[in-house]
Amino acid sequence: MSLLEIKNATLKFGGVVAVNDLSFSVEEGEVYAIVGPNGAGKSTAFNLISRFYEPFAGTFTFDGNNLLDREADQVADLGIARTFQNIELFEHATVLQNLLVGRHRHRKTTLLEEMFFTPRVRREEERHREAVEEVIDFLDLQPYRNKMIAGLPYGVRKVVELGRALASKPRLLLLDEPASGLSVEETQDMRWWIDDIRKQMGITVLMVEHDMGLVSGVSDRVLALADGAKLAEGTPAEVQANPAVIEAYLGAGAV
Amino acid sequence: MRIHFKTSYAHDIRLFPDRWTLSIYGSLLVLAFALPYLLDEFFLGEVTNVLIWAIAGLGLMLLTGQTGQASLGHAAFLAIGCYANTILIEQGVPFIIAFPLAGILTGLIGVIIAIPVLRLHGIYLAIATIALSVLADDIIVLTEHWSGGVSGKFPEMITIFGFEIERWSMPSRFYYLVLVVTIICTLFYRNLLRSPLGRAFAAVRDSEVSATAMGVHIARTKGKAFGLSCMITGWAGALMGYYAGTFNNETFSLVISITLLMMIVIGGLGSIHGAFFGAVVVAFLPQALSILKDNVVGSGVAIPGLETGVFGMILILFILFEPMGIYGRWLKIRTWFELFPFARKDMFRRQKSYLKTERLR
């Protein structure tokens, strides 16, 4: 059985059909990329999985759990973490605090314990910190540990957001355009990281990306979307060679 | 500049980063406890007033500075705390139980009010909470049987296991009581900040979307923030009742709510220090103004609206020139000295913030 299975998902905003009868499944341990022109419904598909949007129709299954039974804040508890297209970090907090919020789903202490900061809270805090330090080591964020997000450059914020998602130790990582706005070197780094996230941490990655170099470099399978519907699915090379995909990007008669 | 050499994660968790900071706050505490021997009764009363305002400020700071939810209704919670405490004691509950209970009661009422009110955002939330302040006045008048209505109430003398505390006849005992409550509230606040809930508060403040994606339940977190904020405010209200010696439906007016909000903005949003700095300004400014007025125009002349006018002016100046409040200014000055001569002018300049996904709010 697939880790994430989406069947016949449909979402309309008024008269606009953002996602139209879309079905795909992500296998455990793979990197699955969604590509498509602007407005194809890629981010909308992500927001459906995160339960920010309520679908008109369709089934969403994650590891045997029906996602539609969950509220948006319960999705993280299942082990799904995500990043956002336009970075959504906690600006007036340090990098460390941001990463620690990623540990929220692993918290065990209650309000009363936290008010008195009992030894158990202290132990838990140290445990969270250890997990976060692993992420910091992995992403080379050591110089920024105690820096405020508000003062960090865009490229670093992008990495911090990836780190926050990783800190929650997810099973499925949703990356919404991980390389947008990054320089060539930073994109290269991102590519190694995604590779390592899959191989070392064993986390399944589902990503939306425009950079075809990155997509063909890391992903096992690619889904091409246009106007909210599936255009093609297969290995990166297959999808890139698909005439329908070329037509959607460049227009008919371009080849 | 001090370099923190950290060898364990506990270094980031403990209350004070190093011995130096510990010794500063330690000596501040010693000074606070020695104060009744250093000051005369009038000034001790003023310091007590500052501390009570600081507790109320901590309460609102938790909600507005930490969780990002503005409230102009906190005078109502001061009133609830004050009346609950007085009525409980009149019913024969000893102070040592009645006082904590008054705060917890205020917190619970706060949670009930928060459920509908916190669905609103920003300015709409502020407007909705104004209604609380206005309502509180009427409710006190309507429940005259319990609250004493317009003629008001006089809190009874505090007795803790036979030990008597009264604001006028023994100001130093009352000061110690307030000081202990202040320390407990500050510790609660600080503990929350270094634990998951405090981070969830900041997460809700800065980005509800990604807080949700990280598993933070927005409504529940806001509800907790409102409840805790009201609890601390309730305690401040109970102490205010003792400090004033008498209170009625007009004691906890909308003006108090506005003053509270102004206080934490002037002090510096989102910091414990801010609540205390703001309290100093709010408590001493009226005195300073009246002394200044007496010297400039003579004590016989009354200038209506002078206080509120000056307060408003100060608030505008802070928002324009020092949005981080007195605490922000203090940080800048301290950094300048710590880095001397390497401090740069632009070190605290606000960086541009990148586009946010407003659609998903």
Q: pLDDT per residue over A244-253, tens digit each? A: 888 888 777 6
Same domain, A102 and A70: no
Residue of B nearest to A130 (CA): B9
Given CB atoms, is A107 within the 8 Å cutoff of chain B?
A: yes
CA distance B149 to B156: 17
Report how far residue A80's alpha carbon sits from residue A59's, in angstroms, rounded to the nearest whole number. Answer: 17
Say whether residue A75 is in contact with chain B using an 8 A CB cutoff.
yes
Q: What angle do CA B182, B52, B164 make, to 5 degrees?
A: 80
Q: Same structural domain for residues A36 and A151?
A: no
Any chain B CB within 8 A of the CB of A114? yes
Does the distance separating the beta carbons of B215 and A93 come in below 8 Å? no
CB contact under 8 A, B199 and A100: yes
State the residue range of the domain holding A137. Answer: 94-169
Name every chain A residue with its beta carbon within 8 A of the beta carbon of B203: 90, 93, 101, 104
Chain A, nearest residue to B15 by Cα? A117
Question: CB–CB of B215 and A116 under 8 A?
Answer: no
Q: What residue ranges of chain B have pLDDT lower than 70?
A: 1-2, 346-347, 349-361
pLDDT of residue A15: 87
pLDDT band at residue A83 using 50, 70 and 90 as cut-offs: very high
Determine the Cα–Cα distance for residues A24 and A63; give it in Å rounded to an integer: 14
Average pLDDT over residues A5-19: 92
Tell me if A87 is assigned to some domain.
no
The answer to whether residues A229 and A116 belong to one domain is: no
Is the pLDDT at A62 greater than 90? The verdict is: yes
**Average pLDDT for residues A196-202, to the nearest whole number?**
94
Question: How many structural domains is chain A composed of?
Answer: 2
Asked if B185 reaches chain A (Cβ–Cβ under 8 Å), the answer is no
Q: Check which CATH number belongs to the domain holding A196 and give it.
A: 3.40.50.300
pLDDT for A64: 92
Same domain, A112 and A134: yes
pLDDT (0 to 100) of residue A255: 52
- CA nearest to A42, candidates A193, A172, A178: A178
Evaluate whether residue A85 is within a structural domain: no
Taking an 8 Å cut-off on Cβ atoms, the answer to whether B210 and A89 are in contact is yes
Residue A125 and residue A17 share a domain: no
Round the CA-based radius of gyration of chain B to a whole number and report it. Answer: 21
Give the pLDDT of residue B308. 85
Chain B contact for A175 (CB, 8 A cutoff): no
Distance CA A67, CA A7 (A): 12
- Which of A129, A154, A169 represents a domain boundary (last residue)? A169
Compare all CA atoms of chain B with the CA of A103 and give the residue at the minimum distance.
Answer: B214
Two tokens, residue B238: 């109970």
Same domain flag for A39 and A152: no
Boundary of a domain, candidates A150, A169, A188: A169
- For residues A73 and A185, membership in a common domain is answered with yes
Count CB atoms within 10 A of the CB of residue A235.
13
Q: For B7-54, write each residue's pLDDT tens digit.
A: 888 888 888 888 888 999 999 999 999 999 999 998 999 999 999 999
Tokens in use for B352? Answer: 């541009």
Residues A95-108: tens digit of each pLDDT: 999 999 999 999 99
Instruction: Identify the DSSP state of B121.
Output: -
Q: Based on the fold, state whether residues A177 and A51 are members of the same structural domain.
A: yes
Residues A156 and A209 in one domain: no
Reduce the DSSP state of residue A34 to 3 states and report it.
strand
Give yes or no: residues A125 and A238 share one domain: no
Supply the Cα-derived Rg of chain A in whole angstroms: 19
Q: Which residues of B touch A129 (CB under 8 A)?
A: 9, 12-13
A191 shares a domain with A154: no
Contacts of A28 (CB under 8 A, 6+ apart): A2, A3, A171, A204
Residue A159 tokens read as 């990495």
Our measurement of the distance from residue A61's CA atom to the centroid of its chain's CA atoms, rounded to an integer in Å, reads 17
Phi-psi sector, A51: left (phi>0), alpha (psi -120 to 50), beta = left
Whole-number pLDDT of residue B361: 47
Contact A107 B196 (CB under 8 A): yes
Q: What is the pLDDT of residue B61?
A: 96
Prediction pTM value: 0.91
Q: Residue A76's closest chain B neighbor by CA?
A: B215
In chain A, beta strands by DSSP E? 4-13, 16-26, 31-35, 57-62, 65-66, 80-82, 172-176, 204-208, 221-226, 229-234
Can you tell me the mean pLDDT for A216-237?
Answer: 93
Q: Does the ipTM exceed 0.90?
A: yes
Mutation for testing the A interface, residue in B210, B335, B347, B348 having most A CBs under 10 Å: B210
- Nearest-CA residue of chain B relative to A91? B206
Give the A:B interface size as CB pairs under 8 Å: 130
Cβ <8 Å between A111 and B12: no
Instruction: Assess whether A71 and A176 both reside in one domain.
Output: yes
Residues from chain B contacting residue A116 (CB–CB below 8 Å): 191
Domain end (from A134, A169, A204): A169
